């Protein structure tokens, strides 16, 4: 199966998501957040740096829960990216 390459918009949205999650994590260790969300530290790092630009919905939900982010607020952070 061949994956369709990501568009520039999808890559930018992934970077914006990663920045938002990293900012919300603050001083908490990546290992603590990843463990609480049920994902690997490597996956969290890839999401935060935009290497996984389109993480699975349930991964984003788990991270939002652990970081006490409202999904609507998190989606709102993507609006400026989508408006560009």
**DSSP H stretches of helix in the chain:** 8-25, 30-37, 41-49, 57-66, 71-77, 79-83
**For residue 15, what pLDDT band results from cuts at 50, 70 and 90?**
very high
Give the pLDDT confidence of 60-82 residue by residue, as tens digits: 999 999 999 999 988 888 776 55
Q: Name the residue ranges covered by the structural domains of the chain.
A: 8-83
Query: For the purposes of burial, counting CB atoms within 10 Å of the CB of 57, is it exposed (0-12), middle (13-18) or buried (19 or more)?
Result: exposed
Q: Domain spanning 8-83: which CATH class is it, in words?
A: mainly alpha
Q: Look at residue 55 and tell me whether its pLDDT is greater than 90.
A: yes
φ and ψ at residue 63, rounded to 5 degrees = -65, -40
Q: C-alpha distances in angstroms, 65 versus 3, 58, 59, 74?
A: 29, 10, 10, 11
């Amino acid at each position: 199966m061949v994956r369709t390459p990501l568009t520039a918009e999808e890559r930018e949205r992934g970077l914006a998501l990663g920045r938002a999650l990293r900012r919300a994590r603050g001083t908490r260790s990546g290992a603590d957040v990843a463990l609480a969300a049920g994902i690997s530290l490597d996956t969290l790092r890839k999401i935060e740096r935009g290497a996984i630009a389109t993480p699975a919905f349930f991964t984003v939900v788990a991270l939002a829960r652990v970081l006490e982010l409202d999904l609507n607020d998190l989606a709102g952070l993507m609006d400026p990216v989508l408006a560009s």
